[in-house]
């Protein structure tokens, strides 16, 4: 089982690292603890942030590196690592061209959260990840081992090079040596309740929706060797997830009818927030409600804005899936969701009054989303309720790395022979993630990690 480079994790970052290391001539063993590759990457919305592409130019979108840099820093509230952001910006066009060269097909360019220009390049995540796995195999130098859970990183003593890992492979513990380097690409830790409780206990009430292997193994393995940590206090759920998220198969658990005019009420039938705020802030607000629960309530007028394309606005689909509840009258809907009917009716009446007067005296809502869009009165049955809470889909933080994807310890010193990329690394996002920048970061820093591990001293 000795090899040149060991990659831990078969998500996007790990596959990119493996392809690059193999292209540089290294023999690669990729350990994936589940029975298939994909991780959170395959569940993702498939949006990658690139600026200045041919697709943008063809669509008349004027975007460039400066705007991308500014948006990334702004999303991170300037608390992200400037050097990492600059590295992303400097490599992103090469990464886009590299993906296209591998045969990745981008379908459209979308405007998404945190973007000052439409720059979210969309792929179909399942086809994308299948292609990336195939490209890793096509190198002829990548051996993908499934049901192989890396457990510990090996080094002779503190300060010595990382020389391999121990891994549980099909039920037995084995030692694997890496002649050149080890790349950690084991994803985030949304599923590790202990770690979430340690860093952000107030987010522990979130439902979780991400790859089945997102237990934080990679972060803990590096942490055990003294790796630094960054951004862990900024972990935040996303509003709009159904409380039954993940209980049955299917990807579409989240809906945002609030941004089409719905109101948000708690179990007492009362509004508690300006519904036009960002879904991250709504996520925090719902976690503070009894049972961390609320309902997006809307009428037929809002239902008529249902989309067949944008997942977050597919209200009719949610109805067909039995997740969106409906009744002909508001009173019947209140009964169905266990909310006091008189209180709910009073809330709707008061809200409609605010819409008519143009002033929300309770929470200051002035638009559909972040102040934009005209508010609508809710008055036409049938009525709808989407049970909603906050969902943790990614942690976007973790161990410290430098611009060469080398893991650094709590003193800022490089841990020799150890590289990391993807969601498990900290510093790049700062306070918040800009849409498309996590998959983008997997490609850019995964490639750097793979290349450097392959070139590492023996």
Ligand X SMILES: Cc1cc2nc3c(=O)[nH]c(=O)nc-3n(C[C@H](O)[C@H](O)[C@H](O)COP(=O)(O)OP(=O)(O)OC[C@H]3O[C@@H](n4cnc5c(N)ncnc54)[C@H](O)[C@@H]3O)c2cc1C
- Residue 334 found at the interface with ligand X (CB under 6 A): no
DSSP state string for 11-79: SHHHHHHHHHHHHTT--EEEE-SSSSS-TTGGGS--EEE-SS-HHHHHTT----HHHHHHHHHHHTTT-
Nearer to ligand X, 210 or 376 (CB): 210
Does residue number 343 form part of the binding site for ligand X (CB under 6 A)? no
Q: Which of 5, 6, 7, 8 binds ligand X (CB under 6 A)?
A: 8
181 binds ligand X (CB under 6 A): no
72 binds ligand X (CB under 6 A): no
- Complex with ligand X: residue 311 or 367, whichever CB lies closer: 311
**CA-wise closest residue to 32 among 48, 44, 15:** 15
Burial (CB count <10 Å: 0-12, 13-18, 19+), residue 412: exposed
Q: Which of the ranges 43-51, 52-60, 256-264, 304-312 carries the binding residues for ligand X, by CB under 6 A?
A: 43-51
Is there a contact between 84 and 69 (Cβ–Cβ < 8 Å)? Answer: no
Residue 195 near ligand X by CB under 6 A: no
* 114 belongs to the binding site for ligand X (CB under 6 A): no
How many residues belong to the site for ligand X (CB under 6 A)?
42
Query: Judged by CB under 6 A, which of 52, 114, 181, 213 binds ligand X?
Result: 213
- Helices 125-138, 82-102: axis angle to 10 degrees equals 80
Rule CB under 6 A: is residue 92 a binding residue for ligand X?
no
Residue 119 main-chain phi, psi, to 5 deg:
-145, 10
- The one segment of 6-14, 192-200, 326-334, 377-385 that binds ligand X by CB under 6 A: 6-14
Q: Give the number of other CB atoms < 10 A from CB of residue 152.
A: 16
The answer to the question of residue 427 lying near ligand X (CB under 6 A) is no
**CA gap 262, 256 in Å, rounded:** 9
Asked if residue 185 binds ligand X (CB under 6 A), the reply is: yes
| Residue among 38 and 430 whose Cβ is closer to ligand X | 38
What is the per-residue burial (b if ≥16 Cβ within 10 Å, else e) of 270-298? bbbbbbbbebbebbbbbbebeebbbbbbb
Alpha-carbon span 332 to 68, nearest angstrom: 49
Per this entry, what is the length of the chain?
Answer: 458
Among 9, 114, 181, 398, binds ligand X (CB under 6 A): 9
Closer residue to ligand X, CB minimum distance, 254 or 409: 254
Told to check if 398 binds ligand X by CB under 6 A, we report no
Which residue stretches of 358-436 are H helix?
A: none
359 Cβ contact list (under 8 Å, min separation 6): none
Q: Is 33 in the site for ligand X (CB under 6 A)?
A: yes
Is residue 423 part of the contact set for ligand X (CB under 6 A)?
yes
| Binder of ligand X out of 3, 29, 40, 389 (CB under 6 A) | 40
Distance of CA 94 to the CA centre of its chain: 23
- Residue nearer to ligand X on the CB measure, 389 or 438: 438
Binding residue (CB under 6 A) for ligand X from 393, 418, 448, 454: 393
Q: Give the residue, chosen from 18, 19, 104, 210, that forms a contact with ligand X under the rule CB under 6 A.
A: 210
Which of 12, 19, 264, 454 is in the footprint of ligand X by CB under 6 A? Answer: 12
- 95 forms part of the interface with ligand X (CB under 6 A): no
- Cα–Cα distance between 64 and 84 in angstroms, integer? 18
What are the residues binding ligand X (CB under 6 A)?
A: 8-14, 31-34, 38-41, 43-47, 149-150, 185-187, 209-211, 213-214, 217-218, 393-394, 422-423, 435-439, 442
């Amino acid at each position: 089982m000795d090899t040149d480079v060991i990659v831990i994790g078969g998500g996007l970052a790990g596959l990119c690292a493996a392809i690059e290391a193999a292209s540089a001539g290294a023999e690669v063993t990729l350990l994936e603890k589940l029975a298939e590759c994909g991780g959170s990457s395959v569940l993702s919305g498939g949006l990658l942030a690139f600026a200045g592409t041919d697709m943008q130019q063809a669509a008349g979108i004027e975007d460039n590196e400066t705007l991308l840099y500014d948006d990334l820093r702004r999303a991170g509230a300037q608390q992200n690592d400037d050097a990492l952001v600059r590295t992303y910006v400097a490599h992103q066009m090469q990464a886009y061209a590299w993906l296209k060269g591998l045969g990745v097909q981008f379908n459209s360019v979308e405007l998404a959260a945190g973007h000052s220009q439409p720059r979210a390049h969309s792929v179909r995540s399942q086809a994308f990840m299948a292609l990336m796995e195939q490209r890793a195999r096509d190198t002829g130098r990548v051996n993908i081992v499934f049901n192989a859970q890396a457990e510990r990183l090996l080094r002779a003593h503190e300060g010595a090079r990382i020389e391999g890992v121990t891994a549980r492979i099909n039920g037995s513990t084995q030692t694997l040596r890496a002649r050149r380097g080890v790349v950690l690409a084991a994803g985030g830790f949304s599923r590790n309740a202990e770690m979430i409780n340690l860093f952000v206990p107030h987010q522990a009430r979130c439902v979780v929706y991400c790859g089945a292997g997102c237990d934080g193994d990679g972060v803990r393995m590096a942490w055990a060797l003294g790796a630094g940590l960054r951004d862990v206090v900024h972990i935040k759920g996303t509003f709009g997830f159904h409380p039954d998220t993940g209980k049955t198969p299917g990807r579409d658990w989240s809906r945002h009818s609030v941004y089409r005019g719905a109101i948000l009420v708690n179990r007492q039938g009362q509004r508690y927030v300006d519904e036009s705020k960002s879904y991250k802030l709504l996520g925090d607000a719902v976690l503070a409600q009894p049972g961390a629960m609320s309902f997006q309530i809307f009428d037929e007028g809002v239902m008529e804005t249902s989309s067949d394309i944008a997942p977050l606005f597919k209200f009719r689909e949610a109805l067909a899936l039995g997740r969106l509840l409906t009744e002909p009258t508001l009173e019947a809907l209140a009964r169905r969701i266990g909310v006091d009917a008189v209180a709910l009716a009073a809330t709707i009446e008061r809200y409609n009054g605010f819409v008519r007067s143009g002033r929300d005296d309770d929470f200051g809502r002035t638009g559909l989303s972040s102040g934009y869009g005209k508010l609508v009165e809710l008055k036409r049955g049938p009525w709808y309720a989407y049970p909603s809470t906050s969902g943790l889909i990614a942690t976007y933080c973790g161990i410290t790395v430098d611009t060469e994807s080398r893991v650094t310890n709590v003193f800022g010193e490089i841990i020799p022979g150890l590289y990391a990329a993807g969601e498990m690394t900290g510093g790049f996002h700062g306070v918040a993630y800009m849409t498309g920048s996590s998959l983008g970061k997997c490609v850019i820093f995964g490639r750097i990690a793979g290349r450097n591990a392959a070139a590492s001293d023996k």
